[in-house]
Amino acid sequence: QKREIYAKLQSFTFLMIVEGHVSDMKPVLHDVEEGEKEEMLYFQSDKLAVAFGLIATSCKHYACKGTRLHITKNLRMCS
């Protein structure tokens, strides 16, 4: 299932790029090359959750009418 999730993520990431999406690199504070920063942003947990949701709901199209995904993100900080 992991391969299927990453394949779905790659396909809608490609569509985002084709449609003109440009990632904001400012939040990535790691000292790495720009290409690596961009890759880090593409594989964020919320995007993986969307890819999993599309697969789990048997959504074969990118704009499935009637299919609603609710993704929540838990940003807990430890001291």
4: left (phi over 0), alpha (psi -120 to 50) or beta: alpha
Q: What is the pLDDT along the chain (79 residues), one digit of tens a residue?
A: 889 988 988 888 888 889 887 777 666 666 777 777 677 777 777 888 888 888 887 655 555 666 778 888 776 656 5
Q: Which residues contact 55 (CB under 8 A, 6 or more apart)?
A: 1, 4, 5, 8
pTM metric for this prediction? 0.64
For the chain, helix, strand, coil in percent to 5 are 50, 0, 50
pLDDT the model gives residue 45: 79
pLDDT the model gives residue 48: 86
